[in-house]
Amino acid sequence: MCAIMHIKEIIDNFSFPVYLAPMEGITDHAFRMICKEKGADILISEFISSDALSREVEKSIVKMRFDERERPFGVQIFGHNEESLITAARIAAEGRPDFIDINWGCPVRKVVNKGAGSAILQDIPKMVALTSAVVKAVSLPVTVKTRLGWDHTSKPIVEVAERLQDIGIEAIAIHGRTRSQMYGGEADWNLIGAVKSNPRMRIPVIGNGDIDSAEKALDYHNRYGVDGIMIGRAAIGNPWIFQNIKQLIENKPLVSPTYMERVETALHHLRTSAEDKGERRAVLEMRTQYAGYFKGLRNFKSVRMKLMTASTIEECRQHMLAYSDEL
Ligand SMILES: Cc1cc2nc3c(=O)[nH]c(=O)nc-3n(C[C@H](O)[C@H](O)[C@H](O)COP(=O)(O)O)c2cc1C
């Protein structure tokens, strides 16, 4: 068995640590592997309900599975009930990921109405107590992903980060929006920077929100002094963003994928996903990624429409290749 590494040690292994943000319905094993191959450093599962995981619901157990090549890997749980969170964290830890991440940022009504995700930002003492219970329950490092606060009148993230550090979390990832912003407006990185520059903070601070290019990743990393960058939506159908960051750091020219590279990667994605979930579901789920995979291509719309109705991988392949003939 490998010795447990602290998050700081894990992060220090990378000169410019880049996380693939956890995204429910997107960052499954197939997509995470592709992002890893293209240069994402640290991966996290889709969020998993602690209520469901503590009852060992098969769908939740499947979500926490990962491949050794995905390391360093974290399992993310969400919930509002101490007992479920503790049980779920212990079950997740049995799968030997590198860390357990608690989601205190999800803005979705279904989650918030139960007091989970970003709802906890209205009750910081409870957030601290529940997080502390999870930290004590497992020997693995525990990290937190959260937002700035509940709404524009309450953005307590500087204090929250300090208090969570004090009860033993090993890193904090901050999405620079409040819950009430959902995904609207712009992420406020000044407050993320304020957390990082708080002289009391010792744990790594990961910045998240609106990073949509390699240039912006580097710029924001340097400008706000964060220990790592987390990328979500910009990676959907565009795993090359991770490769571009590496190219930029190494002062190499940024290389865009050719059409055939995009096709090969999309097909590889489809096939890996089909191995895990079956062809039908893989083909359906892949529809959210085509806009990214084939962004900016002239007259691609009609091909995309065909991809959106295709029902087998072979059909998808044929549509993609037909366009390459046109090119
Ligand atoms: C479709 C989708 C699903 C998401 N699911 C999760 C999730 O399971 N856990 C989580 O912590 N955040 C989730 N998020 C939030 C992202 O991790 C990230 O914080 C947010 O998208 C902002 O980063 P970005 O601007 O780079 O996309 C999700 C976001 C999207 C768009």
Which residue in 2, 35, 106, 316 is the catalytic one? 106
Q: What is the mean pLDDT of residues 83-106?
A: 98
Nearest CA to ligand 1 atom 21: 232
Out of 19, 20, 24, mutate this one to test ligand 1's pocket (max ligand atoms within 8 Å of CB): namely 24
Give the residue whose CA is nearest to atom 19 of ligand 1.
Answer: 175
CA–CA separation, 205 and 263 (whole Å): 36
At 188-210, the pLDDT tens digits run 999 999 999 999 999 999 999 99
Per CATH, the number for 259-326 is 1.10.1200
Residue 43's DSSP bridge partners are 73
Contacts of 184 (CB under 8 A, 6+ apart): 177
Give the atom of ligand 1 at the shortest distance from the alpha carbon of 26: 1
Whole-model pTM: value is 0.98
* Candidate of 19, 43, 121, 233 to mutate for ligand 1, largest count of ligand atoms within 8 Å of Cβ: 233
How far does residue 92's CA lie from ligand 1's centre (Å)? 20
Atom of ligand 1 nearest to the CA of 230: 26
Task: Give me ligand 1 centre to Cα 97, in Å.
Answer: 20
Q: Does the annotation count 35 as an active-site position?
A: no
Q: How much of the chain, in percent, has pLDDT values that exceed 70? A: 99
HSE toward the beta carbon, residue 188, CA cutoff 13 A: 16
Q: Whose CA is nearest to atom 7 of ligand 1?
A: 23
pLDDT value for 155: 98
Query: 7-249: what fold?
Result: TIM Barrel (3.20.20)
Question: What confidence score (pLDDT) does residue 105 get?
Answer: 98
Read off the pLDDT band of 132 (50, 70, 90).
Answer: very high
Q: What residues does ligand 1 touch, defined as CB less than 6 Å away?
A: 21-26, 46-47, 76, 103, 105-106, 145, 175, 208-211, 231-234
Crossing angle of the two packed helices 279-286 and 259-277, in degrees rounded to 10? 140
Residue with the smallest CA separation from ligand 1 atom 28 is: 23
- Assess whether pLDDT exceeds 90 at residue 325: no
Instruction: Quick: pLDDT tens for 253-310.
Output: 999 999 999 999 999 999 999 999 999 999 999 999 999 999 999 999 999 999 999 9
What pairs with residue 78 in β-bridges? Answer: 49
Q: Token pair 């969400």 is at which residue?
A: 78
Ligand 1 midpoint to CA 23 (Å) = 5
Helices 313-326 and 301-309: angle between axes, nearest 10 degrees? 170
Q: What is the mean pLDDT of the chain?
A: 97
Tell me what pLDDT residue 1 has. Answer: 47
Quote the percentage of the chain above a pLDDT of 90.
98
Q: Which two tokens stand for residue 163?
A: 């208090």
Q: Which of 18, 19, 23, 181 to mutate to test the pocket of ligand 1 (most atoms within 8 A of CB)?
A: 23
Map out the domains of the chain as residue ranges: 7-249, 259-326
| Atom 22 in ligand 1: residue holding the nearest Cα | 209
For residues 234-252, average pLDDT: 97
pLDDT confidence of residue 3: 84
Instruction: Give the pLDDT confidence score for residue 27 in this predicted structure.
Output: 98
Q: What is the pLDDT of residues 145-174, one digit of tens each?
A: 999 999 999 999 999 999 999 999 999 999
| pLDDT score recorded for residue 2 | 63
